[in-house]
């Protein structure tokens, strides 16, 4: 799928490298939002989702619970 | 501090928070303030770039940066809107500076309120690697000309 070249990682200038980190974080947040909603629709509990993401039930509920009640 | 903000400027600051949430950023930055200001049609016309074009440019900057470290997303297009972890996201230091400078510019003009124009002028003072400055550069905006247009609307 994706080639990941450590030499290229080191060669990137700081502005590009740090922007890439921000971009990855943004991507992760968007992908997480989609799949947490999917899991809830499929009947997963907040605890199960928290375990899958490696965070507490409370933190995942605090982040997405309010949004779900708005839908 | 925000009570002196004219309604358009106040909306922009609130929209910046929404921008940060939508994009999946942890803090409200100068780039979110810029994206939020461009939601205003009148200001977008003055700048010569609308919010949609600015969003595309920001996404392209992300893709370019990922490519620079050897990651290509190909057809992958995340469709989701991110959610913020905390209720009230903090501002980055760059974001705070923009607000402070907008205040200072309004004070220098003896203006009673801080308007979108003051915010935009403060954004134009940012220098790379500030994310708003990077975005303005990517959009190819003629900054001296824009400053002149903004001065004319004072």
Query: Does B60 contact A at CB distance below 8 Å?
Result: no
Cβ-contact B47, B146 below 8 angstroms:
yes
Q: Is B108 exposed, middle or buried (0-12, 13-18, 19+ CB in 10 A)?
A: exposed
Mean pLDDT of B6-25: 92
Q: What is the pLDDT of residue A1?
A: 46
Cβ-contact B136, B143 below 8 angstroms:
yes
The shortest CB-CB distance from B69 to any of A8, A28, A29 is to A8
Q: Is the pLDDT of residue B122 over 80?
A: yes
Residue B127 sits at the vertex; the CA angle it makes with B123 and B128, to the nearest 5 degrees, is 120
Domain that holds residue A53: 15-70
Residue B81 pLDDT level (bands cut at 50, 70, 90): confident
Structure tokens at B119: 């915010």
Query: Does A41 contact B at CB distance below 8 Å?
Result: no
**Residue B129, domain CATH:** 1.10.1780.10
How many independent structural domains does chain A possess? 1
Q: Is B102 exposed, middle or buried (0-12, 13-18, 19+ CB in 10 A)?
A: buried
**Within a domain: A10:** no
Q: Is the pLDDT of residue B133 over 90?
A: yes
Q: How far is CA B26 from the centre of its chain?
A: 15
Q: How far apart are CA B102 and CA B2, in angstroms?
A: 11
Domain that holds residue B95: 2-70+89-152
Q: How far apart are CA A24 and CA A31, in angstroms?
A: 10
Q: Is the pLDDT of residue B74 over 90?
A: no
Q: Is the pLDDT of residue B30 over 60?
A: yes
Q: How far apart are CA A36 and CA A40, in angstroms?
A: 6
How many independent structural domains does chain B possess? 1
**Within a domain: A8:** no
Q: What is the pLDDT of residue A71?
A: 44
**Within a domain: A5:** no
Query: Does A55 contact B at CB distance below 8 Å?
Result: no
Query: Does B129 contact A at CB distance below 8 Å?
Result: yes
**Within a domain: A3:** no
Q: What is the pLDDT of residue B75?
A: 82
**Within a domain: A2:** no
Contact A20 B79 (CB under 8 A): no
């Amino acid at each position: 799928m994706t080639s990941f070249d450590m030499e290229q990682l080191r060669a990137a200038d700081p502005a590009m490298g740090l922007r890439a980190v921000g971009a990855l974080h943004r991507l992760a947040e968007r992908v997480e939002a989609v799949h947490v909603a999917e899991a809830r629709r499929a009947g997963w509990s907040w605890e199960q989702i928290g375990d899958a993401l490696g965070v507490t039930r409370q933190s995942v509920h605090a982040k997405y619970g309010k949004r779900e009640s708005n839908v | 501090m925000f009570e002196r903000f004219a309604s358009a400027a106040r909306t922009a600051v609130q929209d910046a928070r929404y921008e940060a949430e939508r994009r999946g950023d942890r803090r409200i930055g100068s780039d979110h303030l810029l994206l939020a200001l461009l939601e205003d049609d009148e200001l977008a016309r003055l700048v010569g770039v609308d919010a949609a074009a600015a969003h595309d440019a920001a996404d392209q900057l992300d893709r370019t940066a990922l490519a620079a470290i050897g990651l290509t997303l190909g057809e992958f297009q995340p469709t989701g809107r991110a959610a913020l972890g905390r209720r009230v996201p903090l501002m980055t230091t760059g974001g705070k500076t923009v607000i402070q400078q907008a205040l200072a510019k309004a004070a220098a003009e003896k203006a009673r309120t801080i308007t979108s124009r003051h915010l935009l002028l403060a954004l134009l003072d940012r220098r790379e690697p500030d994310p708003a400055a990077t975005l303005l550069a990517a959009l190819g905006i003629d900054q001296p000309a824009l400053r002149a247009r903004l001065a004319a609307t004072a």
